[in-house]
Amino acid sequence: MNIWQRWHLDRPLFLALLLLSVVGMFVLYSASGENSMLMVRHVVRLMLGFVVLVSIAQVRPETLRRWSPHIFAFGLMLLVAVLAVGSVRLGARRWLNFGLFRFQPAEIMKLGMPMMLAWFFARGSLPPRTRYVALGGLISLVPILLIAKQPDLGTAALILGSVLTILFLAGMSWRSILMVLLLAGLATPLLWAHMHQYQKQRIRTLLDPSSDPLGAGYHTIQSMIAVGSGGFFGKGWLKSSQAHLNFLPESSTDFIFAVFAEEFGFLGILMLLGLYLFVLGRGLLIAFYAQDTYTRLLAGGLALTFFMYFFVNIGMVSGILPVVGVPLPLISYGGTATVTLMAAFGMLMSIHTHRKIIAD
């Protein structure tokens, strides 16, 4: 039994995550304008993330399964608490203040939601009957609406994405899928009417960034300039003029990919995408090899959620998706999201390393 097995870690996945974190540190160092205080905070959070990953990898999948509804219920409770007593920052009520630290309960739901749905569908047999699909959808709608109300539309959309993914994986019938698509199409104008002004503006600027070049379109235009000026080989590490001359807003958080693209070029992007796709592939492989329906659905759901993260972020920076506040996994500066992500990978490792030998 080698050290990887003893600690229930999946070597390829672990090494890939480590490599991503190291790449992330270099990018962040440049993007933050060589801010050493910020780097210290970032590294501390990364280390905390790895500790969480290793800890969760020790938990048996069976235990995870039993916890699932409780974690979901706990997360739901906190979301209601946020609505009641949460603290407001920048106009959104997202945080619970525990004195020592602030914390976004929506983060728990990023894990709690896939866990709950995997648990729910694994209880019955697959494919689920239509009314179970509908029930599962209804259960998940409650926290999504709570998060959207904060308002944190980015997170709400991502969680909705993970819900739809698991519904699809669980074998939702094509007829139901068509129904949902139809309903979504009909609901779009309604949704548009209920969106905040700034949210509408972001979608308008996606269609035509030059309509408001110094306002809502500014982010998109500047990040496209950064990406485009990087060229094939990039300008080199620490040479991002867009970030360093302060053109690019949020360069250490949501728009950090633009800095990466400017400094490392198309070649760097291909390598980074390769690394991300490797992590995704490994996650899907774990799902394929999973030994029961719960772990298979959970692993598949978490891996595909990870895909949505980097896809939405890169899509937003390169101007094909609207500006929503989604960080680039393991590279953006940002606290709880990193830890949540690492917890998800801890679950994947737990699922993979606790398989019974007899199964194959």
Partner 1 sequence: MSGTPIKDYLRESRLVNARMTGVIAVIAVLVLVLVVRLAYLQIIDHRHYMTLSNENSINPVPIAPVRGLIFDRNGVVLAENYPVLTLEIVPDQVKNMKVLLSQLGKIVTLNRQDLRNFYRELREKPHFDSLVLRNNLTEEEADRFAVQRYRLTGAELHARLERYYPQGGLAVSALGYVGRISENDTKEINDANYRGIEYIGKLGVEASYEDVLRGRSGIKKVEVNAEGRAIRTLDRIPPVAGDNLYLNLDARVQAAAEQALGNHRGTVVAIDPRNGGVLAFVSTPTYNPNEFVDGISTKNYRALMDNPDRPLLNRALDGRYAPGSTIKPFLALGALEDGMNPDQTYFCPGWYHLPGSSHIFHCWRWREGGHGTVDLRHAIMESCDVYFYNLAVHLGISRIDDILDKFGFGAKTGIDIPGEISGLVPSPAWKAAHGLPWYPGETVIMGVGQGAMLVTPLELANATALLADHGVGFDPQVVRAIENPTTRVMTYLKPSPGRTVGVHNQNDLATIVQDMRDVVRSPKGTGYLMGLHAPYKIAGKSGTAQVKDMPSNMAYNVKKIARDLRDNAVFIAFAPVADPRIAVAVIVEHGGFGGEVAGPVARKVMDAYLLPENPPPAGSTASSVRAPVQHAH
Binding site for partner 1 (CB under 8 A): 32-37, 89-91, 125-127, 165, 168-171, 214, 224-232, 241-247, 261-262, 265-266, 269-270, 273, 277, 280, 284, 287-288, 290, 292-293, 296-297, 300, 304, 307, 311, 314-315, 318-320
What is the Cα–Cα distance from 94 to 150, expressed in whole angstroms?
Answer: 6
Shortest distance, position 238 Cβ to partner 1, whole Å: 10
Nearest distance from C-beta of residue 273 to partner 1, angstroms: 7
Inter-helix orientation angle 335-353/106-123, to 10°: 30
H helices present in 32-60, as ranges: 36-58
The four Cα atoms 320, 326, 329, 332 give a dihedral, to 10 degrees, of 100
CB of 194 to partner 1, least distance (A): 23
Shortest spacing between CB 287 and partner 1, in angstroms: 6
Residue 74 CB, nearest distance to partner 1 (Å)? 27
Residue type, 323: V
Q: Which of 24, 70, 114, 73 is nearest to 308 (CA)?
A: 114
φ, ψ for residue 185 (rounded to 5)? -60, -40
**Which is nearer to partner 1, 319 or 327 (by Cβ)?**
319
Q: How far is the CB of 349 from partner 1 (least distance, A)?
A: 19
Minimum separation from the CB atom of position 105 to partner 1 (A): 19
At closest approach, how far in Å is the CB of 85 from partner 1?
18
The angle formed by the CA atoms of residues 216, 162 and 102, to the nearest 5 degrees, is: 65
Whole-number minimum distance, CB 242 to partner 1, in Å?
6
Q: Are 333 and 253 in contact (CB under 8 A)?
A: yes
Q: Which of residues 76 and 243 has its CB atom nearest to partner 1 in the complex? A: 243
- What is the full DSSP assignment across 82-121? HHHHPEEETTEEEEEE-SS-EE-THHHHHHHHHHHHHHHH
Tokens representing residue 183 in the block? 């309903």
Question: Measured between alpha carbons, how far is 116 from 294 in angstroms, rounded to an integer?
Answer: 10
Are the beta carbons of 246 and 260 closer than 8 angstroms? no
Q: Provide the H-helix boundaries in 290-334.
A: 293-317
Residue 146 or 163 having the CB closest to partner 1: 163
In the complex, minimum distance from the CB of residue 51 to partner 1, in angstroms, rounded to a whole number: 26
Nearer to partner 1, 283 or 346 (CB): 283
Q: Are strands 92-97 and 87-89 parallel, antiparallel or unpaired?
A: antiparallel
Beta-sheet strands, E only, within the chain: 87-89, 92-97, 102-103
Per-residue b/e over 3-20, b at no fewer than 16 CB within 10 Å? Answer: eeeeebbbeebbebbeeb
